[in-house]
Amino acid sequence: MHINKVELHNFRNYENQEIKLKKNINVFYGDNAQGKTNILEAIFLCAFGKSFRTTREKELIKLGEENARIKVEYSKKDRDGNILICISDKKQILVNGVKIKKLSELLGKINIVIFTPDDINILKGTPALRRRFLDMMIGQLRPNYVYILNMYNKTLEQRNNYLRQIRQEGKAESLLEIWDEKLVEYGNIISNYRREFINKIIEKINITKTQFSPQMPSGQLHWIIADKNDCIVVESVKEGIKVYDDPVGVLTNNPTFDMQMFRLNDFRGLSPKQPENTFSDKLDLTSYSRGMGAMGLPGDLSSQSRFVRAAFVKMNSRSSPDEQSSVSQFFHILNSVDQQRGCCEVAESKYEITIYTSCCNTDKGIYYYTTYNGHQISAVDMHKEDLDSAKLIAYPMITNEIINFQN
């Protein structure tokens, strides 16, 4: 896709301006407040139908004038096209001379990505800002995505209104199923579009084998990426980058994640409940100890076995919903796969151990950790520090055991 020409009439500080663009890199330079950003804003307007700087379209019209006009001519896949936007009391958008009725008809005609100083908030701000940026990108590639997203939001609003009517007016709850079914339908489509887009980005990632230091050789790399709702695994393998949904929220070193998940099939009969006698109805077999429902759960220190054990413990663990209980339970879960010194020899008199265990509440910005010789949970509240500072903030890791004497 290539933009050939931009025409501006009474747009911002431009009375009449025609700008022809080359196929390679085009650089706009000049003093501040001369209108460089206005050109970018005009192109953005023709891509999305709205400005990235203001929601008041009257501000786009040159001072003292009653209307403005922006036209972009472009080439895409050996075809030429143009977008014309006229702004007065009402905004009209024409694509190749035909007036559009919905913004979704405009999206994807020209594909652009814009970065401004305010976009640092995509990294520093709330997840909602990142989702909005993601939605804008997907909308250009999949125009139908915007329609589905709007329908999802409308359905959610209607469902919330009906919930209020149930509480206030006593309406039947059975009709909620209609809204729930629609939310699931639209939500699945949105999730699939987002996953497809992320996979395309990940395919472009180049992973190097650069070592951090000679003492830390590079190894197979894979990552678990999670928030409080979803979890995925990203792996760099010989065939390229692989992305998997991770329904158990667990990852260990080896083998690849698809093999780790498949191995869980071997343990589908395990349960936190006491087992029933399914061996034979001719034998009177009894449960002679608690926990026999989990007999066969791996206890060795191999990565695959630790994956199975961590998955079983995590999927069946229970705790109170408060912060302290949840954090405590997290460390109990990971303690089930601890590596103790002396049990896993990697070289003569050298052993693999669990050096540290950590978790983070991303909503509150609190980082919790324990170390091999420091079992007491330590915490750092990152929001108590100046996160905009250029100064590196470091806390010494607590590596000594703290014993609380009670007498």
Which pLDDT belongs to residue 248? 94
More confident residue, 270 or 217: 270
Domain for residue 209, yes or no? no
Domain total in the chain? 4
3-state secondary structure 197-224: HHHHHHHCCCCCCCCCECCECCCCCEEE
Would you give the end-to-end CA distance of the chain in angstroms?
76
At residue 227, does pLDDT exceed 90?
Answer: no
Domain for residue 210, yes or no? no
Cβ atoms 59, 45 nearer than 8 A: no
Domain for residue 10, yes or no? yes
Which segment of 61-65, 78-82, 326-330, 384-388 scores lowest on mean pLDDT? 384-388
Task: Give the residue from 281, 299, 314 where a domain finishes.
Answer: 314
The CATH number of whichever domain residue 135 belongs to comes to: 1.20.1050.90
Over residues 285-297, the pLDDT tens digits come to 998 999 999 999 9
Q: What is the DSSP string of 315-374?
A: HH----SSHHHHHHHHHHHHHTTPPPTTSSEEETTEE----EEEEEETTTTEEEEEETTE
User: Same domain for 67 and 104?
Assistant: yes
Contacts of 122 by beta carbon, 8 Å cutoff, 6+ apart: 129, 130, 133
- In our burial notation (b when 16+ CB lie closer than 10 A, e otherwise), range 70-89 reads bbbbbeeeeeebbbbbbbee
The CATH number of whichever domain residue 67 belongs to comes to: 3.40.50.300
User: Same domain for 347 and 275?
Assistant: no
Decide the pairing of beta strands 14-20 and 2-11: antiparallel
User: Same domain for 50 and 88?
Assistant: yes
User: Same domain for 366 and 277?
Assistant: no
Report phi then psi at 85, rounded to 5.
-120, 125
User: Same domain for 35 and 19?
Assistant: yes
Strands lying side by side in the sheet with 14-20 = 14-20, 2-11, 68-76, 79-87, 91-95, 98-99
Over residues 389-399, the pLDDT tens digits come to 888 889 999 98
Which pLDDT belongs to residue 105? 86
- Is it true that the peptide bond before 214 is cis, omega within 30 degrees of 0? no
User: Same domain for 342 and 377?
Assistant: yes
User: Same domain for 310 and 337?
Assistant: no
Which pLDDT belongs to residue 218? 60
User: Same domain for 8 and 102?
Assistant: yes
Give the C-alpha separation, 206 to 69, whole Å.
Answer: 43
Which pLDDT belongs to residue 219? 58
Domain for residue 260, yes or no? yes
Which segment of 124-138, 145-159, 204-218, 349-363 scores lowest on mean pLDDT? 204-218
At residue 212, does pLDDT exceed 70?
Answer: no
Nearest C-alpha neighbor of 303 from the set 332, 339, 335, 267: 339
Tracing tokens 């408060």 back to the chain, one arrives at 322
At residue 238, does pLDDT exceed 90?
Answer: no
Task: Give the residue from 257, 286, 314 where a domain finishes.
Answer: 314
Which pLDDT belongs to residue 113? 84
Mean pLDDT of 227-240: 81
Over residues 132-171, the pLDDT tens digits come to 888 888 988 887 898 899 999 999 998 888 888 888 887 7
More confident residue, 2 or 116: 2
Domain for residue 63, yes or no? yes
User: Same domain for 340 and 309?
Assistant: no
Give the C-alpha separation, 283 to 372, whole Å.
Answer: 47
Chain-centroid distance, C-alpha 382: 21
Mean pLDDT of 81-95: 93
3-state secondary structure 79-124: EEEEEEEEECCCEEEEECCEECCCHHHCCCCCCCCCCCHHHHHHHH
**Residue 237: pLDDT band with limits 50, 70, 90:** confident
Which pLDDT belongs to residue 207? 67
The length of the chain is 407
Here the tokens at position 105 are 């008809």
Domain for residue 198, yes or no? yes
At residue 82, does pLDDT exceed 90?
Answer: yes
Range of the domain at 353: 317-407
Give the C-alpha separation, 101 to 314, whole Å.
Answer: 51
Domain for residue 215, yes or no? no
Contacts of 327 by beta carbon, 8 Å cutoff, 6+ apart: 359, 361, 368, 377
Task: Give the residue from 314, 342, 368 where a domain finishes.
Answer: 314
User: Same domain for 301 and 338?
Assistant: no
Mean pLDDT of 236-257: 86
User: Same domain for 34 and 96?
Assistant: yes
At residue 221, does pLDDT exceed 80?
Answer: no
User: Same domain for 406 and 328?
Assistant: yes
Which pLDDT belongs to residue 220? 59
Domain for residue 211, yes or no? no
